[in-house]
Amino acid sequence: MTDASARIDDLVKTSDVVLFMKGTKAMPQCGFSSRVAGVLNYMAVDFRDVNVLEDADIRQGIKDYSDWPTIPQLYVKGEFVGGCDIVTEMMLSGEMDQLLEAKGVSFDKAAADKIREANA
């Protein structure tokens, strides 16, 4: 296991929710990262952000780790959830609520409902 892979593995396994993204949750640097971070922030999900733009090894390493070619990448309790399109679909269908509830991750259910209402 490479150093980057070991660091990624540690982050995924020690953080309840971690988002590998371009930029930070306070200052996303791409639209896709902004969308996922925005959803998590709005739902009051406590998540760790990892800015892949700060470390080329992590930027490539997360793609290798998940065998997923794009960023952002969301992990919940060690499980790879997906990127922007998958997170968006899960949010709108209610699957994200179910996943967070099943994993014991707290979130604002009313905010999640508002997201769905606004996108109906």
- Reduced to 3 states (helix: H, G, I; strand: E, B; else coil), residue 90 is helix
Instruction: Give φ, ψ of 70 to 5 degrees.
Output: -120, 165
- Structural domains in the chain, CATH included, are 3-118 (3.40.30.10)
Facing residues of 79 across strands?
A: 76
**Burial classification of residue 24, based on how many CB atoms lie within 10 Å of its CB (0-12 exposed, 13-18 middle, 19 or more buried):** middle
- Reduced to 3 states (helix: H, G, I; strand: E, B; else coil), residue 78 is coil
pLDDT at 20: 98
57-94 pLDDT, tens digit per residue, is: 999 999 999 999 999 999 999 999 999 999 999 999 99
For the entire predicted model, the pTM comes to 0.95
How many Å apart are CA 29 and CA 64, to the nearest integer? 21
- Determine what percent of the chain is predicted with pLDDT higher than 90: 95
How confident is residue 1, by pLDDT bands cut at 50, 70 and 90?
Answer: low
